[in-house]
A and B are shown apart, each in its own frame.
Chain A
Amino acid sequence: MTRNGPILRVEGLETRFFTEEGQVNAVHGVDMEIDDGEVFGVVGESGSGKSVTALSLLGLLESPGRVTGGEIWYRSAELADSVAEETPTAVDGDYVNLLGLPDRVRRTLRGTHFSMIFQDPMSSFNPSLTVGEQIAEAVEAQQRARSNPRSVASRTQGYGLSQYLMSFVSSSRKYVSEESRDRAVELLEMVGIPDPVLRAEEYPHEYSGGMLQRAMVAQALAGEPNVLIADEPTTALDVTIQAQVLDLLDEIQAETGMTILIITHNLGVVARMCDRVGVMYAGEIVERGALADVFDSPVHPYTQGLLGSVPDLGGSSGRLQPIAGNVPSLLDHEMPDRCYFADRCPKAMEACLRKPPELPVDGAAGHTAKCYLAEEPFDESTALPDGYFEGGSTDAADPADASGAAEVASDGGESE
């Protein structure tokens, strides 16, 4: 582990989706620094922009999504050398701004520098090719990308009518070399798949979900990436299998010293895996810092709410403390110019009507929160009155109890 600064530095990342209903601000000024060899967790609810952040890093966004601002600085001396001539503006010492590189170059980085594993292993593999072949193909594509960054087309990419006909003439035609195949078997063995030789010849449907997730990890490792992005790697799996896959990621990280970015909604997974964590809400990182700081002394009321609403395995019962209301709309014209959480926040103050900047939290290095509470304690006298954000919505239901009433109010307000 070298200590010349973070391997990845994201500054003011903005990602927008241009839809028929309007502009969706999926990621909104995200700053992030990820150190070499650490496991960084991004946690948030659905629609908070965590997956879009990951896709933006890799340049995998599809229309109508587009990165509209910010910089992604990636540290790689080798890469900086090779692109310095062509795009001098994107190079700063050892760092390269990925957003300043042409698509052709970014493509060569996928697999060799960055790699990704996805949530649903069942839909991430091609059902008509054997698992071994798909991993071998990744191996081959990475090798070619390394040897000649200008030609990265995969061999199956040109699969057309002539290839299809050829497959009848000689059905044993393979698209990958023997060596790549052997490497695929090695990779499968590395991720703990029993009898990898036999397994490599099988199709994805013959695998169980946990096995397939392992195979996806193997595929992601094919290019020996420096940064692995895992987007909800265990969400589709049962708990006993989830534990196995997390163990595997842990082992691989320890072995290779790879940097891992884990994206998840599961606070348990974050606690299990991560050194540092960023909490996302409505496209922003609202709080970040070392795991212990964020989990043990959260400052942002959203982080507190998130931790309070998780039913605990250890201690029993007691009422859960949910966050009232729902995840807000990310449509540009519906996003107010204030703290996005204020309408659900139990501690909303007048100050919160101005957008809070990222403020350092006392007592811990690198612990910051986008909340005024980081600087000053909650002041009752400036608190916003209950129902401040309800607008003109009429919620005159006869609720069952008082806590129900609060929920009615914010629920109703949301869908107005």
Chain B
Amino acid sequence: MTDGSDTTDDASTDAEPLVRVRNLEKYFWENDSLFDRLFGEGKTAVKAVDGISFDIRRGETLGLVGESGCGKSTTGETMLRLQEPTGGRVEFEGENIYDLDGADLQAFRREAQVVFQDPFSSLDPRMTVGDIITQPLEIHGVGTAAEREERARELLGHVGLSADQLDRYPHEFSGGQRQRVGIARALALEPEFIVLDEPTSALDVSVQAQVLNLLDDLQEEFDLTYLLISHDLSVINHVCDRVAVMYLGELVEVGPAADLFAEPKHPYTEALLESVPRASTDERDRERQTISGDVPSPRNPPSGCSFRTRCPVVIRPPGLDVPRSAYREIVQYRTLLENGRLDPESRWEQLDDPDRTNTRAFVDGLYDELFTERFDGDDDAVVTESFEALADGDVEEAIELLRSRYESVCEVVNPELVDEPHPSACLRDDQPGSVRTAVDEWEGASTAVDATGSTGGADVDVAAPDGGTADADR
């Protein structure tokens, strides 16, 4: 929580990061029981953390921000080896923590601690505060009983509680005080690295400010390195030196806090910042660029760039002459179809046309509902055709029609973070060579498709691992 000015960021601290995360993956498997294996359709992966890489430098606070369900807490837990990863590595002081065992693992556990979100459920209600704080010392066999108690008194002082509260129980404390106890417990073993998992989101604003200031003081006093996990951008902005933004299990942008908040590169970061209501009187008149739609399910993430279904600036296919807003409507229509959210049956029932002869009415109804304006020429033909396919009940055909004309490079190529101080995983930004090649190949293939009228071959290698677009949907 030092004022991380850009100059020091680049040069001096780059030497050796304290924590280095590389391609960390944590999948949870569903439908994986014996019964499912025998009779089911096979297990499905929930990709909570899907190959993320970042560094945490000594003495800094890295903020990990994202919406609920994006995998930020899982990242924190996996990095502490509270959960075993399904892939990738985490190096702590140069050693892969997943290779540690025995005494080495014990030593790592002393160096890396955690403060949990909910101070009401993370403290054992049947232990006194003294017992709670000395427990880590006991487990690691530090000192005699008397020394441990002395240490607990000292720690209570550090976190702004009084030493004579040692034999009280958690229920006697308020939320903010309990969180202080949780922090004292994390400090007991003099760790170097602390994961703060939403440390203030259960607290009221005035108390939150106390705890944030306390964390700031402690970092300075004990040279701590923090990973601060939070959904609250203003907390992140206030506290962090660098920030990593997470969406659907992937990092979309990493950068120094000042840069990232002043000039967000990824459209998702931009949307997040836009969405936060400011506590100032000109908030009502602020121009807001909020995004529509919900976070897609991690069971079935979109192919390519995972943000493309909500992205306001999704890249249009080359040579397509459709305004951005209209293209967004097409994307939303396709997403509805692909997610099985547009059911021709119920449409027909609404129309009050038992023989289903009036295809015209069916098409017009949908057209008016989904699009603000009618298209011209070829676009009008393709969209109408897809509605007609729907009227015949052929959803697959409608999807295919739209895909062949409106497929965006964003759904084929998965953008990555380049190795620089402030990268973003967006195809509109700097991308590594492999991704660039994939984009070029796709563009080549798609123009070829236009010429020959056949599809296929448009799938570049990068797209393959992401698998299921339309067909895998329920």
Q: Which of B168, B258, B276 contacts A268 (CB 8 A)?
A: B276
A306 touches B162 (CB 8 A): no
B235 touches A311 (CB 8 A): yes
Whether A238 contacts B67 in the complex (CB less than 8 A), given A272-B284, A397-B157, A399-B157, comes out as yes
Q: Which of B205, B213, B239, B275 contacts A267 (CB 8 A)?
A: B205
B231 touches A238 (CB 8 A): yes
Q: Which of A247, A273, A309 contacts B209 (CB 8 A)?
A: A309
B341 touches A400 (CB 8 A): no
Pick from B102-110, B288-296, B389-397, B403-411 the stretch touching chain A.
B288-296
A324 to B280, CA, bound (A): 23
B160 within 8 A of A: yes
Residues of chain A within 8 A of B291, CB atoms compared: 240
B271 within 8 A of A: yes
B281 touches A296 (CB 8 A): yes
B277 within 8 A of A: yes
Residues of chain B within 8 A of A411, CB atoms compared: 160-162, 174, 176-177
| Size of interface on A: residues with Cβ below 8 Å to B | 68
Whether A313 contacts B294 in the complex (CB less than 8 A), given A45-B204, A265-B204, comes out as no
B463 within 8 A of A: no
B273 within 8 A of A: yes
Residues of chain A within 8 A of B235, CB atoms compared: 311
Nearest B residue to A275 by beta-carbon distance? B284
Residues of chain B within 8 A of A266, CB atoms compared: 277
B279 touches A267 (CB 8 A): yes
A271 to B274, CA, bound (A): 14
B156 within 8 A of A: yes
| Size of interface on B: residues with Cβ below 8 Å to A | 71
Nearest B residue to A290 by beta-carbon distance? B281
B238 within 8 A of A: yes
CB distance from B218 to the nearest CB of A (A): 8
Whether A265 contacts B277 in the complex (CB less than 8 A), given A272-B284, A320-B238, comes out as no
Residues of chain B within 8 A of A313, CB atoms compared: 233-234, 237, 261, 273, 276, 278
Residues of chain B within 8 A of A408, CB atoms compared: 160-162
Whether A240 contacts B275 in the complex (CB less than 8 A), given A271-B283, A271-B284, A415-B172, comes out as yes
B160 touches A407 (CB 8 A): yes
CB distance from B352 to the nearest CB of A (A): 12
Residues of chain A within 8 A of B278, CB atoms compared: 268, 271-272, 312-314
B342 touches A195 (CB 8 A): yes
A389 within 8 A of B: no
B205 touches A240 (CB 8 A): no
CB distance from B178 to the nearest CB of A (A): 11
CB distance from A23 to the nearest CB of B (A): 21
Whether A197 contacts B346 in the complex (CB less than 8 A), given A238-B295, A240-B272, A396-B162, comes out as yes
Q: Which of A156-210 contact B (CB under 8 A)?
A: 194-195, 197-198, 201, 208, 210
Q: Which of B231, B279, B290 contacts A307 (CB 8 A)?
A: B279
Residues of chain B within 8 A of A292, CB atoms compared: 281
B206 within 8 A of A: yes
A404 to B274, CA, bound (A): 35
A313 to B3, CA, bound (A): 16
A271 touches B290 (CB 8 A): no
Q: Which of A194, A265, A316, A317 contacts B205 (CB 8 A)?
A: A265
A407 to B174, CA, bound (A): 13
A312 touches B238 (CB 8 A): yes
Whether A243 contacts B277 in the complex (CB less than 8 A), given A313-B261, A322-B207, A397-B157, comes out as yes
A46 within 8 A of B: yes
A141 to B343, CA, bound (A): 30
CB distance from B176 to the nearest CB of A (A): 6
CB distance from B35 to the nearest CB of A (A): 23
B173 within 8 A of A: yes
A327 to B278, CA, bound (A): 24
Residues of chain B within 8 A of A314, CB atoms compared: 278
A311 touches B212 (CB 8 A): yes
B163 within 8 A of A: yes
Kindly list 17 other residue pairs between chains A and B, CB separation below 8 angstroms, not including A267-B205, A397-B157, A399-B157: A194-B332, A198-B341, A198-B343, A240-B275, A241-B67, A243-B277, A272-B277, A272-B283, A295-B281, A296-B281, A305-B206, A309-B208, A310-B205, A312-B234, A326-B174, A327-B174, A403-B213
Going nearest first, the 7 A-B pairs with the smallest beta carbon separation are A268-B277, A322-B209, A311-B238, A309-B209, A267-B279, A243-B275, A320-B209
Q: Mind listing 22 A-B residue pairs with CB under 8 Å?
A: A195-B342, A195-B343, A198-B341, A242-B275, A243-B277, A267-B279, A270-B279, A272-B283, A306-B205, A309-B206, A311-B238, A312-B238, A313-B237, A321-B209, A395-B162, A397-B156, A399-B160, A400-B221, A408-B161, A414-B174, A415-B173, A415-B177
Which positions in A face B, CB cutoff 8 Å? Answer: 45-46, 194-195, 197-198, 201, 208, 210-211, 238-244, 246-247, 265-273, 291-292, 295-296, 305-314, 316-317, 319-324, 326-327, 394-401, 403-404, 407-408, 411-412, 414-415
